[in-house]
Amino acid sequence: MKIMPCPVNGPRPVSEFVYGGEVRPMPEPSCTDAEWADYVFNRSGIPGVKIEWWYHIASGTWFLAERDVVADRVLRTWLPGEDAVQGGAR
């Protein structure tokens, strides 16, 4: 089982987590329809290191993870508004 380092509960099996998608800045509500559609639908589908939302189901914790989506390696995780803590792939 792959291990995800939760910033609150420490290393836990990845099956305890839900993937929340890549972090994307929301445009101002005054933006154009095209900009809003781009925000709603379009994704950066190219491979690389991405910052993503993850959710620990058992403790109800949303947090951020920096992950290499090619090697599937978690580089670090942290709570929103906090400094990153060292994670690492297992």
Partner 1 sequence: MFRQHDRLKDSYDVVIIGAGGHGLASAYYLARDHGIRNIAVLERGYIGGGNTGRNTTIIRSNYLTPEGVAFYDESVRLWQDLAVDFDLNLFYANRGHFTLAHTDSAVRTMRWRAEVNKHLGVNSELVGPEAVKEACPQIDLSCGGHAPILGALYHAPGAIARHDAVAWGYGRGADQRGVEIHQKTEVTGIDVQGGRVRGVHTSRGYISTPKVLSAVAGFTPRVTHMVGLRTPIYVHPLQAMVTEPMKAWLDPILVSGSLHIYVSQSARGELVMGASLDPYEVQSTRSTLDFVEGLSAHMLDMFPFLSHARVNRQWAGMADMTPDFAPIMGKTPVEGFYIDSGWGTWGFKATPVCGKTMSHTVANDEDHPLIRGFGLSRFERYELTGEKGAASVGH
Applying CB under 8 A, which residues contact partner 1?
1-2, 15, 18-19, 22, 33-34, 37-38, 40-47, 50, 52, 69-72
Pick the closer one to partner 1 by CB: 30 or 41. 41
Measured between alpha carbons, how far is 50 from 22 in angstroms, rounded to an integer? 7
Pick the closer one to partner 1 by CB: 7 or 67. 67
Pick the closer one to partner 1 by CB: 53 or 78. 53
First vs last Cα of the chain: how many Å apart? 9
DSSP 25: P
